[in-house]
């Protein structure tokens, strides 16, 4: 990502804050939304974006975050349903060019894909990583 993007991140938990810190450090414009003001404590002192307290399920909150101007939406809230809904609204209502969502339940990944939303599933990723590690240690023993 060479060009500076305007990015809206929904959820400032462990993943959301990590993404917000990293993308801000890379020089992108960032708005991070969370229901709980205390969630923003996880942001670095160098974080150069905006913090917005609100429920991202309400489109007014997304409008306030200037989602209409965003190049990228990252839906990484705690709940899969919230992420799915926010991602869909971002795509259909705000016409965000690129929408990505975290989904905890591998069974729901297919639903996201049908809506044309890119997903990352930590469960699947961790499972694959563990299996790969097991595979390697298995080979090493032989």
Partner 1 sequence: MSQDAILVVDDEKNIRLALGQALKPLGRPVLTALSGEEALEMLHDPGIGVMILDYRLPGIDGMAVLERASRERPDVAVIMITAYGSVERAVEAMKLGAVDFIAKPFAPEEIRDLVSRVSNREALTEADARDYRGRLELAKQAIRRRNFAAALDHARKAVGLDPYRAEGFNLVGALHEILHDREEALRNYRLAVEVDPAYAPAQTNLERLVSRRGQGGIAWDDDAGEKGR
Judged by the rule CB under 8 A, the positions of this chain that interact with partner 1 are 4, 6, 27, 29, 31, 45-52, 64-66, 68-70
Residue 6 or residue 115: which is nearer to partner 1 going by CB? 6
Q: How far apart are CA 87 and CA 71, in angstroms?
A: 13
How many Cβ atoms are within 10 Å of 116's Cβ, its own excluded? 11
Q: How far apart are CA 25 and CA 44, in angstroms?
A: 9
How near is the Cβ of 15 to partner 1 at its closest, in Å?
Answer: 20
**For residue 26, what are the CA distances in angstroms to 31, 111, 119, 132?**
14, 32, 22, 31
How near is the Cβ of 52 to partner 1 at its closest, in Å?
Answer: 7
Residue 51 or residue 108: which is nearer to partner 1 going by CB? 51
How near is the Cβ of 50 to partner 1 at its closest, in Å?
Answer: 3
Residue 94 or residue 112: which is nearer to partner 1 going by CB? 94
């Amino acid at each position: 990502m060479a060009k500076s993007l305007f990015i809206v991140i929904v959820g400032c938990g462990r993943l959301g804050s990590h993404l917000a810190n990293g993308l801000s450090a890379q020089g992108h414009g960032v708005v991070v939304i969370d229901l709980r003001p205390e969630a923003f404590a996880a942001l670095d002192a160098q974080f150069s974006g905006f913090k917005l307290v609100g429920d991202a399920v309400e489109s007014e909150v997304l409008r306030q975050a200037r989602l209409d101007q965003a190049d990228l939406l990252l839906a990484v809230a705690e709940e899969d349903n919230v992420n799915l809904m926010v991602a869909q609204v971002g795509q259909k209502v705000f016409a965000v060019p690129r929408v990505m969502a975290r989904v905890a339940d591998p069974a729901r990944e297919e639903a996201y894909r049908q809506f044309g939303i890119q997903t990352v599933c930590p469960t699947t990723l961790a499972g694959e990583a563990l299996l790969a590690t097991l595979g390697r240690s298995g080979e090493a023993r032989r």
